[in-house]
Amino acid sequence: MRAAFRRDGTLLALDVHLLSILGAWNASPTRPTAVLTGLAIAGPYRVPNLRLSLRCVVTNTTPQAAYRGAGRPEASYLLERLMDAGASRLGLDPVVTRQRNLLHPEDFPYRSPTGVPYDSGNYPAVLAEALRRFDYAGARREQARLRSAGRLIGIGIAAFCELSGSGWESATVRAHPDGTVTVLSSIAASGQGHTTMLAQVVGEVLQLPLERIRVVTGDTAAIQQGIGTFGSRSTALGGSAAYLAARDVLEKALHIASHLLEVAPEDLEYRDGRFSVRGSPD
């Protein structure tokens, strides 16, 4: 992996060549994990020019499979080491090469040179807050003091952009006559707190307490098809599906209430699970 920088630390180009040993066969159900390394290679930085090549090699060893990160930590390691090396070669603080190249809020929505869409973010603010909490300037002074006393003290910094929200999920929200709601979600919970998350999302939309919301996950007899719980996607996709379904329920309920109360929809207001005519809450 090579990079071209301006003297001020601005990144001009990346040249990346990846070699992945698959083992006896590709154990991934879709694509080798090294593909994710390639997709994530630009990280949270603006990369004007990129040349990327990937070779996957089949060997007579145990097949390679994804485990906690699935190719993304490798991309972060390569990129952050390069940012450090660039700073060292240019005589800059490693913070500078990050600050010069992080994407800014006005860059979003952004599509990376590998085609990955980034929806939003304020990466410089996150870095600034991390430096403030760590007291980076103070830490550097302490580092210099300890090094003068013969102590080998280092300070590391790294930025990571998580790829998440891939694929799709489904959700159904049903309102019952007794004022309770059932949420049917295609994501499968296994201890991550998905049921609480889904209840909170739907409860916020419908202005209902959590005790009035029942969540069902993983029941293939009652739930539409989904993909699965992996890759930091359950809240982004399962939660978004539940949010949109709850919005649809609220919109449908608005028109039903308009018909029953014999007023225009715009004359109704919704609060704490109930519709009422504006100015006549009773």
Is 178 in the same domain as 250? Answer: yes
Which of 88, 93, 83, 92 has its CA nearest to residue 43?
83
| CA distance linking residue 126 with residue 280, whole number of Å | 47
Indicate whether 84 belongs to any domain.
yes
Q: For a pLDDT cut of 70, what percent of the chain falls above it? A: 99
Residues in a beta bridge with 16: 52
Indicate whether 165 belongs to any domain.
no
Q: Give pLDDT, residue 87.
A: 97
User: Whole-number mean pLDDT of the chain?
Assistant: 91
Quick one: three-class SS letters along 120-175? Answer: CCCHHHHHHHHHHHHCHHHHHHHHHHHHHCCCCCCCCCCCCCCCCCCCCCCEEEEE
Is 223 in the same domain as 139? Answer: no
Q: What is the mean pLDDT of residues 157-184?
A: 90
Q: Give pLDDT, residue 150.
A: 94
Is 21 in the same domain as 101? Answer: yes
Torsion of CA 224, 225, 231, 236, to 10 degrees: -30
Indicate whether 154 belongs to any domain.
no
Q: For a pLDDT cut of 90, what percent of the chain falls above it? A: 66
Is 28 in the same domain as 72? Answer: yes
Please state which of the ranges 67-76, 84-93, 97-106, 195-204 shows the lowest mean pLDDT.
67-76
Indicate whether 155 belongs to any domain.
no
* Whole-structure pTM value: 0.75
Is 93 in the same domain as 34? Answer: yes
Q: Give pLDDT, residue 198.
A: 96
* Tens-digit pLDDT profile for residues 26-85: 777 667 788 889 999 999 999 999 999 999 899 999 888 777 777 888 999 999 999 999
Indicate whether 159 belongs to any domain.
no
- For the chain, the domain total comes to 2
Indicate whether 161 belongs to any domain.
no
Residues in a beta bridge with 53: 17
CATH number at residue 246: 3.30.365.10
Phi, psi of 78 (to 5 degrees): -60, -45
E strands along the chain, which residues?
2-5, 11-23, 50-58, 110-111, 117-118, 171-175, 181-185, 213-217, 268-271, 274-277
Q: Give pLDDT, residue 27.
A: 77
Residue 265: give the domain boundaries.
171-277
Is 6 in the same domain as 129? Answer: yes
**For residue 109, is pLDDT > 90?**
yes
Q: Give pLDDT, residue 88.
A: 96
Confidence of residue 281 (pLDDT cuts 50, 70, 90): low
Q: What is the DSSP secondary structure assignment for residue 258, as one 8-state letter?
A: H
Is 124 in the same domain as 191? Answer: no
Token pair, residue 103, equals 């994407």
| CA distance linking residue 145 with residue 171, whole number of Å | 58
Token pair, residue 115, equals 């085609």
Q: Give pLDDT, residue 34.
A: 85
Q: Give pLDDT, residue 29.
A: 65
| CA distance linking residue 238 with residue 230, whole number of Å | 12
Is 109 in the same domain as 186? Answer: no
Q: How many other β-carbons are positioned within 10 Å of the β-carbon of residue 273?
A: 16
* Tens-digit pLDDT profile for residues 209-247: 999 999 999 788 888 788 878 777 889 999 999 999 999
The residues, ordered by sequence, that sit 6+ positions from 79 with a Cβ below 8 Å of its Cβ are: 41, 42, 43, 45
Is 190 in the same domain as 265? Answer: yes
Q: Check: CB of residue 137 under 8 Å from CB of residue 157.
A: no
Is 44 in the same domain as 116? Answer: yes
Instruction: Look at residue 13 and give its three-state secondary structure.
Output: strand
